[in-house]
Amino acid sequence: MLRRASDILSALDAGHPVRSLADLSRTTGLPRSTTHGMCAELVELGLLERVDGGYRLGLRLFELGELVPRQRGLRETALPYMEDLRAATGATVHLGVLEGVEVVYLQILRTPGGPRLPSRIGGRLPPTPPAWARRCSPTPPPRWWPPGSPPVCRP
C-alpha cells in the first residue's frame, strides 16, 4: 500500500504538478478504482489536494519535508555563508547534497535579474561542474563526475 501511495505522489513532479485521476492511473499502472481510493485517502491526510484538472501535492508534504533533520541542519548552518558568497560574487548560490548519481538541492539563493536556471529547491539534477571547476587546471575527476564533463580542481 505504501508503494502505491509513493508511486502516486512521485507521479506529481515539476513537469506535472497537476494530474487527472486517469493520468495518475496510467502513469502509475494502478487500476483506476485503486488510484481513486488511494487519492481520496491521500487527500483526507493532506498529502494531496484536489484542484481543477485533478490532484496536486498537498501542504502536509511540505510540512513534513521541512522537518527532515539532514537538510534542515545543513541549510541553517550554510545559509549565512551562502548569503556572504552571493553578496561577494553577485552570483546565484546553490547548496546541494549528492544522493546516488544526482544532486538534491536544499537551498538556492538566486541573484535578482540573474539567469533562469533549471535547479529548484527539492529538485534533482545530475551533478555539473561548478564555475570554479571550469576555470581550474585539469585534475582527475571524482568517481561520480558525469562522463565527458570538464575536469575539476581539488583544494
Mean per-residue pLDDT, 38-43: 96
Q: Residue 90: name the closest of 123, 115, 62, 58 by CA.
A: 115
* Average pLDDT of the chain, as a whole number: 84
Q: Which domains does the chain have, with CATH numbers?
A: 2-64 (1.10.10.10), 69-130 (no CATH)
When pLDDT is averaged across residues 63-91 and rounded to a whole number, the result is 86
Residue 135: per-residue pLDDT = 46
Is residue 47 within 8 Å of 59, Cβ to Cβ?
no
What band does 134 get if pLDDT is binned at 50, 70 and 90?
Answer: very low
